[in-house]
């Protein structure tokens, strides 16, 4: 179960807004997180508490295939992104690094900035405690949930013992 506050964002938030290109010299979550959404809201990272949620409109994460974008979101302390819809490459990049992303059009539409949310990832249920409403999201298939639970694809593979040394190929 995840619990936190909603940070409402508009439609079509692209990866250049999530993490501006000038900061994409790093792949460290914490460093990227300091600049998350700064061109949209310079105070965004100061408003976020660890465990909070981004709640957005359609096509969240559109634009370039910037793996730094979901890393920046995690680095800012966001535990999950809830949106009406996602750009497919952003969706996959998020899963690969262990950032839960839930498609829930009604929940995203009705949530307000600052609403208190509780999310059950395994069941795909979002509770908006401020509105006293419950919504269903598209739940993850079991294998995708395992990847998220492991903390991303790299940790998932390590846990399965397929690459215990952490390196691909031969030495």
pLDDT digits (tens, 9 = 90+) for 132-167: 999 999 888 999 999 999 999 999 998 887 655 554
Using one digit for the tens of pLDDT, what is the confidence trace for 98-129?
999 999 999 999 999 999 999 999 899 999 99
- pTM, whole model, 2 decimals? 0.90
Closest alpha carbon to 139 in 159, 157, 153, 119: 119
What are the residue ranges spanned by the domains of the chain? 2-159
Q: CB atoms < 10 A from the CB of 60, how many?
A: 30
Alpha-carbon distances of 53 from 5, 102, 137, 159, rounded to whole Å: 6, 11, 14, 27
With beta carbons less than 8 A apart as the criterion, state whether 19 and 32 touch: yes
With residues binned 3-state (H G I as helix, E B as strand, rest as coil), the percentages for the chain, rounded to 5, are: 35, 20, 45
* CATH architecture group of domain 2-159: Alpha-Beta Barrel (3.20)
């Amino acid at each position: 179960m995840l619990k936190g506050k909603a940070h409402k964002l508009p439609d079509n938030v692209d990866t250049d807004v999530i993490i501006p290109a000038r900061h994409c010299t790093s792949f460290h979550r914490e460093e990227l997180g300091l600049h998350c959404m700064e061109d949209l809201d310079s105070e965004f990272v100061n408003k976020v508490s660890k465990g909070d949620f981004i709640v957005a409109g359609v096509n969240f994460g559109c634009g370039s295939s910037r793996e730094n974008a979901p890393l920046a979101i995690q680095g800012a302390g966001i535990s999950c992104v809830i949106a009406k819809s996602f750009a497919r490459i952003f969706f996959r990049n998020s899963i690969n690094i262990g950032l839960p992303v839930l498609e829930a059009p009604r929940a995203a539409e009705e949530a307000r900035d600052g609403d208190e949310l509780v999310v059950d990832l395994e069941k795909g249920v979002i509770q908006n405690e401020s509105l006293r409403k419950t919504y269903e999201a598209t739940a993850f298939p079991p294998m995708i949930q395992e990847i998220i639970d492991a903390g991303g694809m790299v940790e998932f593979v390590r846990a399965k013992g397929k690459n215990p040394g952490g390196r691909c190929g031969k030495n």
